[in-house]
Amino acid sequence: MDGLHRSTDPRDYQNVPQPIVVMSKRFDDGHTIPLHNHARDQLLYAVGGIMRLQTMHHAWLVPPDGAICIPGGTDHTVTMFGDVEMRTLYIDVAAVRARPQPLCVIAVTSLMRELILALSKEPIAYTAGSRAAHIARMIELEIEAARQLALHVPLPADRRLQNMCAALLADPSDGRTLEQWSHQSGASARTLARLFERDLGMGFNAWRQRVRFQSAVEALSRGQPVSLVAHKHGYSSPSAFTAAFRRAMGMPPSALAVQGNRATPALRPDESA
């Protein structure tokens, strides 16, 4: 067990007796971890950089000061934007007292951030009543109380929406209305609107805005100026984009760009996290 806290192999963290353990790993900009899953629940947090996680049915953006809860057994890929210094918490849901979280992005408070960093520096083989055990319990409480962020984009199964949604994912600035899309999709605007509500759980405009914000965060993380990002994502002015972005993300895009560009030295990653 000695030195296990230095391992970057996720398999070393699945069967330990501790209820919460932390793995530290760094990834280069643009790296994609291929489809995989783990036995334990995960909390995926990036100290620096931005991550996009995708399952069969959803795409999730994980911005700075956010983390994603991943139930055990969930197949997913992870793509890095900027050099990502990742902290992965592996959680034995049978051993913790907190209610397990669904697949979602949560806001990471300053306290949670410091607790995660503190536990990542503790030996993995901690004992009950130790400093590490108390930190782990506090992390449980912070996860349970965390605010969820609406940063996922549901992906359609209905063929009438698939081409349309794929086109919008490829070009988030596309400003065509449902009426205009109806000519291409073979369904009326009313039918398309009903399909968005039924299959994706939100209206067309709300879905397109989420796509735009995911793409915008990725662009900001690569250092593109706010004015250019606003124009590329269909906003008439940087001020309109900034106002909408602040309402959805809780911070202005300029602040996110600064956080997203925090550079961290990258080690050669393994093929899972």
pLDDT digits (tens, 9 = 90+) for 61-109: 888 778 999 999 999 999 998 889 999 999 999 999 877 778 999 999 9
Segment among 33-37, 98-102, 152-156 with least mean pLDDT:
98-102
Spell out the CATH class of 156-260.
mainly alpha
* Distance from C-alpha of 119 to C-alpha of 140, rounded to nearest angstrom: 12
* Distance from C-alpha of 243 to C-alpha of 230, rounded to nearest angstrom: 11
User: Which of 226, 235, 209, 212 is CA-nearest to residue 261?
Assistant: 226
The 10 Å Cβ neighbour count of residue 223 is 10
Collapsed DSSP state (helix, strand, coil) of residue 223 = coil
For the chain, give every residue range classified as CATH 1.10.10.60: 156-260
From the number of C-beta atoms within 10 Å of its C-beta (0-12, 13-18, 19+), residue 113 rates as middle
User: Which of 141, 96, 147, 90 is CA-nearest to residue 115?
Assistant: 141
* Distance from C-alpha of 272 to C-alpha of 143, rounded to nearest angstrom: 23
* pLDDT for res 128: 93
pLDDT digits (tens, 9 = 90+) for 185-220: 889 999 999 999 998 999 999 899 888 888 888 788
Domain range 4-149, CATH architecture: Sandwich (2.60)
